[in-house]
Structure 1
């Protein structure tokens, strides 16, 4: 039954920008250019776009449909729709845990960009040579725990502040402003770099596919396909209910396939536009395209300095401002998911949920910040690494792919919500309808899950090696079974009382 007292978004634009804001983040403006540079440019981009359609689109429609049909967050969405006696709702706790884990390190990294915006605008990097700029990041940012904690706290305050103001007045309104500003800034920067001398080589690398190099290159065809699947899958923040929550806030005027296409379109626009900014700039100033984190923090300040003390400060400040908006839009959207969980599960008020989660997030995010400096000795082996790397591994390599698999199966198999219920909800309203032919049904029920499992297993093999990966997978399965067993026992004990 629909929850008539549930908050709702004020407009369709708010839904689109808020959903896109959750998907658009550091994976678009930082990781996408880095991965594209690592795996050969334009050919990789084409493969990435294919997987956005064959994996990202159906999972996003599934999440939107579950949210809108249940009118609940992940706290109770599966329970609302699952057949009596089924246990799909066991995933609820893992989903919300994924949101917490994601924000435990994401808020720290988001603080880097916000800090660099103010420093770039203030002229801190003017006149610095390359070594000084590297040291400013290694020692002055990552190596300084006080700096990390302060900027992490600023990000958390902004995120939960938006949630405290409410869905329409806070989350929706602020995200609209941020996303609109992000699009304008990115377009202006993309136009600016087009006039930089030497940018042509960057455009050729990014826009002209070289399939021969793809096959014979350093990584090979399979590794490139695997990387493209992973990037397409993870860029949309699918599998942990981050999109499901916004489906629960939207009305039934529009069909969900069209809405998902628009959100993916906005997400892809930002990723592609980021490449149009970074690759031409890197080519013009001799910056290595596969520099990873250094591309944003240790290399690009050199690029901005070369533009002159005034123009460089302005362009650099705008660059880090759009990076900050991309990061903060994701933070606000995921925080809304976290805030909504106890509101649906325990009936908390919004203010109570915001306050308790605000305190909890400060405590939970602190280890990731300290793990980059004074707790750097806390290490989880050569395969994973630091505290923040462990949190990222649990989310990116486990909860996102397996959660997306659960959403797909829940919406297509008879033991779950089922194909008929899913497609009826997806097609409610005006707009593009979800294809319901037998071929699509077979693909979503059998082939797409196999693709996700291949990505999941291949990721473990890539990280741990072919011999160690099966052992780690078994241990992870045992751990999950133990968590479910203990949770069931606790629930039974509480119900008896």
Structure 2
């Protein structure tokens, strides 16, 4: 039997695991949701949710990966008891990873496109309306979007095809180092802008009035959802990295490190967005248009804006590509675990497959824009994101949880032993009642409330 690949270093494992979760949810979604739900008070509730909800599920994915030495495609097959059906989750996990990449490669392509446009000075001299039109034109052009998506897919599969250590680990270390350098540089620049102090107050000081406008429960639910989705939990995206590490360090301590790294990027992104918005009189609760319409206008109004805009979208590209490479690694492992393919064969087949599977999302903005699957104003990306974010991620997390803490699955004792094997902070046995009775209810609430919010 072929020996499982291993990370060259502990730092490589932590950076790549964090890279999987550090994506557009941190640097795009987190700032505008914080803006909508009361600034500092939302950040505080979010941090509590990361500790209470995100880290426990993360330890479970990593534990199943390390104990089985497999991806989600076959991990439950290896670990379930005779006659049990946990392995059905493997099929949902495979579907979830493909589904995520069917729209994420397109959005990552947008980031690369904007980096290119800023680098060439294509925004220079445009007024506010013309800057907004650039994004409209991009969405209307299936050929241009396809080019950026193909570049993204080919590059990221190319990295993965080089191997775990020589490709994924080596490239991710460089990208993550540059990502941290860029975000710190951009944050320092943003905080030196006029009126930046007002933006920092809005971001970091609790505003009970804004929270009351939305309602306490809505604010808590938004924080729970963000904590839940930011770590990419539920479809085995993290489990694969558990299968590549040894037993030297325990998984509770490593999960805390991964979550801390992910959260620090979210918080630093806010230090860029809010001072910049307040410096130029822009609403930071502007929604998804914040990145592609609002921020380019801010950079245009800024001294040296072409350079700062290019650096910002280079940072966004690194954030997106780090997630794509991590999830592609999982997808490649499916072919290797299920059919014994070589890494290169799995990379090549999946590169072709994902280019084809990404086309409906691209065409949904133009050729197929009349197709509105979930009602007026929705598109194919909305449908794909709905299936993944509102269904597969919470249900998958619930399955991991029940598998790890009930006697009908792996069982709490086996899970706890795997999590606490190695050096580091030990997970207390006292968590058992919380994991068995409270956490499943929280995940069900996220699932049900997500449906209510989406369809209302």
Normalising by structure 2, we get a TM-score of 0.98
Aligned to 1:98: 96
Mapping for residues 81-160 of structure 1, pairs under 5 Å: 81-139=79-137, 141-160=138-157
2:377, 2:68 → 1: CA distance?
Answer: 37
2:455, 2:278 → 1: CA distance?
Answer: 34
1:23 to 10, 18, 21: 21
2:288, 2:135 → 1: CA distance?
Answer: 10
2:32, 2:73 → 1: CA distance?
Answer: 35
Number of aligned residue pairs: 456
2:82, 2:268 → 1: CA distance?
Answer: 47
Measured against aligned partners, the alpha-carbon deviations of 1:92-123 in whole angstroms (never above 9, x if no partner) come to 00001000000000000110110111111111
Measured against aligned partners, the alpha-carbon deviations of 1:441-467 in whole angstroms (never above 9, x if no partner) come to 0110111010000110011111224xx
Aligned to 1:54: 52
Aligned to 1:285: 280
1:381, 1:211 → 2: CA distance?
Answer: 34
Q: Does the 8 Å CA contact 1:42/1:209 hold for their aligned counterparts?
A: yes
Aligned to 1:482: none
2:289 to 287, 294, 298: 294
Aligned to 1:238: 233
Shift of 1:385: 1.8
Q: Is 2:392 the partner of 1:395? A: no
Aligned to 2:438: 447
Shift of 1:4: 6.2
After TM superposition, where is structure 1 displaced by more than 3 Å over at least 4 residues in a row? none
Q: Is 2:453 the partner of 1:462? A: yes
- Which runs of no fewer than 5 residues in structure 2 stay unpaired? none
Q: Is 2:201 the partner of 1:204? A: yes
2:73, 2:426 → 1: CA distance?
Answer: 28
Q: Does the 8 Å CA contact 1:383/1:463 hold for their aligned counterparts?
A: no
Measured against aligned partners, the alpha-carbon deviations of 1:38-67 in whole angstroms (never above 9, x if no partner) come to 212111111111110101000000011100
Shift of 1:383: 7.2
2:180, 2:374 → 1: CA distance?
Answer: 40
Shift of 1:213: 3.6
**C-alpha RMSD of matched pairs (Å):** 1.1
Measured against aligned partners, the alpha-carbon deviations of 1:116-141 in whole angstroms (never above 9, x if no partner) come to 111111111111110110111111x1
Aligned to 2:353: 360
Q: Does the 8 Å CA contact 2:100/2:385 hold for their aligned counterparts?
A: yes
Shift of 1:293: 2.5
1:385, 1:119 → 2: CA distance?
Answer: 27
Q: Helix, strand or coil for the counterpart of 1:339?
A: helix
Q: Helix, strand or coil for the counterpart of 2:429?
A: coil
- Which runs of no fewer than 5 residues in structure 1 stay unpaired? 466-497
1:251, 1:419 → 2: CA distance?
Answer: 21
Aligned to 2:264: 269
Measured against aligned partners, the alpha-carbon deviations of 1:170-228 in whole angstroms (never above 9, x if no partner) come to 1111111111100010011111111111111110111001234412x1x2111111111
1:198, 1:384 → 2: CA distance?
Answer: 36
Mapping for residues 160-175 of structure 1, pairs under 5 Å: 160-175=157-172
Aligned to 1:473: none
1:129, 1:192 → 2: CA distance?
Answer: 23
1:334, 1:433 → 2: CA distance?
Answer: 28
Q: Does the 8 Å CA contact 1:384/1:393 hold for their aligned counterparts?
A: no
Q: Does the 8 Å CA contact 1:370/1:376 hold for their aligned counterparts?
A: yes
1:60, 1:163 → 2: CA distance?
Answer: 23
Q: Does the 8 Å CA contact 2:195/2:279 hold for their aligned counterparts?
A: yes
Measured against aligned partners, the alpha-carbon deviations of 1:332-364 in whole angstroms (never above 9, x if no partner) come to 000000010121111111111111111110110
Aligned to 1:409: 402
Q: Does the 8 Å CA contact 2:160/2:167 hold for their aligned counterparts?
A: yes
Q: Does the 8 Å CA contact 1:252/1:429 hold for their aligned counterparts?
A: yes
Q: Is 2:329 the partner of 1:332? A: no
